[in-house]
Amino acid sequence: MDKVATNAADAVADIDSGSVIGIAGFGVIHGFPVELTAAVRARELRDLTIVCNSLGRDPAHPVSIVQAGQASRLIAAFSARAGGVAGAATALSPVPLDVELVPQGILVERLRAVAAGIGAFYSPVGQDTVITGGKERRAFGGQTYVLESPLHLDYALIYARRADRAGNLSFRGTSQNFGPSFAKGARVVIVEVDELVEVGELAPGEVDLPGIFVDRVVQRAEKAEPLWRVARETAEARTYLGRPGRTATQLAERIAGLLPEGSYVNLGVGLPTMVSDHLDGRDVVLHAENGVLGYGTRLAPEDADPDYYNAGAEPVSLRPGAAVFDSTEAFEMARSGRLTAVVLGAFQVDGRGSFANWTTPQMGGGAIGGAMDLLVKPGRLIIAMWHCERAGQPKIVNACQYDVTGTECVDLIVTDLAVIERDGRGLVLRECAPGFEPADIARLTEAPLVVDLWTVP
């Protein structure tokens, strides 16, 4: 059984206008089937539905299909990002674009449900947010669940490191992420690989996705150069009331000091990713939803392996005993309550412990990612953020002005000015940054605070 196509153009030649196409890939740069995507773009199809985790940023990523006006619908976990990596999908498209935002973990479950023959399933993810508006809700065991439907793809375009001629695939490192899920949700699966081998050259234990899920394989014409998103925060502290707060590095170091030994911890994108740089010698195992457990410090690109990166798509080291897997398994670890703590960034946190971190009116879309999945059973939920906006507005507010990510779920807020814990009394100020007093923190915080500082031995 030989499933090898001559080239990318031949591999996608039967895709028609109106098709539902899933394009795997993680973050803004990693693991996209770039030659297959470019070949689809070159066919000048119309009225496509594009399903992806994110649009990417380069001409050979899904964003190019949207920019060309070839898509009428987008189903994704990221349709826009804070800071505008590529811009909001609706603003980039020259034609009307219907956008459906889906949490990462639910995206993979809806795809996997196709292969499992499941008609629909109930999920606890996002049940208290606007993204599940209009969906059926039911209570099981005292918890509310939302009905989700399978996500059927006509075609899936995915990337793997190696394949044999029968379509057996071998991924490497964190490059597996969404590939298996997209393949299992599609009628036709087309795979772009770096290396093509003969049947029998992949040992059975090396096969990560059996060839029965694969229809066509094409070898890349050119080896892709490693790409990195390296978002290093400035060492400069923000100034409040004429005094400097903690730097981003000091904020991350403080959070690292609050993590208990023997814990499993997920670090979100942005400020939280910096925490990994302050855990050397600690018994803290880091988890990322792109499919890695046991990663270490962030690395400079010249020291990095292109197949090992964190949830922020930044290069990382691996600790002894680390494991890699696909995103489905990563979210199983999270939603089953295996994590000790989750550290996320936020635009706002309110006095009840609700928080918003996925969209603002200025974004023109949303960046849900895996945050809502991580809130199902997060262990201790820690928010890492600047205490105020650059213009001076408090980020700890009476009520969130943005659509919330989760309701009454925050346990601890660590900012460049304070450590604030939520308990039965409300928001409790536990610690002030050096040079600041409780009255200063209260002045810079809209929500009321109870002052009960930790006693330092």
Residue by residue, what is the 3-state secondary structure of 4-70?
ECCCHHHHCCCCCCCCEEEECCECCCECCCHHHHHHHHHCCCCCEEEEECCCCCCCCCHHHHHHCCC
What is the tens place of the pLDDT at every residue in 345-373?
999 999 999 999 999 998 989 999 999 99
In this predicted structure, what is the pLDDT of residue 83? 61
- For 33-50, give one letter per residue: b (16+ CB within 10 A) or e: bbbbbbbbbeeebeebbb
Question: Rounded to an integer, what distance in angstroms lies between the CA atom of residue 404 and that of residue 351?
Answer: 13
Residue 225: per-residue pLDDT: 65
pLDDT value, residue 188 = 98
Element (H, E) at 110: helix 104-116
For the question of residue 408 being annotated catalytic, the response is no
- Domain positions in the chain: 8-219, 239-451
C-alpha–C-alpha distance, residues 123 and 138, integer Å:
10
- Predicted pLDDT at 234: 59
Which of 35, 109, 192, 289 is an active site residue?
Answer: 289
Q: Please identify every stretch of the chain with a pLDDT value under 50, giving residue numbers as ranges.
A: none
pLDDT for the residue 278: 97
* CA proximity to 50, closest of 85, 92, 82, 11: 92
**3.40.50.300, 3.40.50.10470, 3.40.1080.10, 3.30.420.40: CATH of 8-219:** 3.40.1080.10
Same fold, 8-219 and 239-451: yes
Residues 250-264: pLDDT tens digits?
999 999 999 999 999
- Fold entry, domain 239-451: Glutaconate Coenzyme A-transferase (3.40.1080)
Query: Is this structure's pTM higher than 0.85?
Result: yes
Neighbours of 390 (CB within 10 A): 7
pLDDT at 242: 96
Q: What is the pLDDT of residue 233?
A: 58
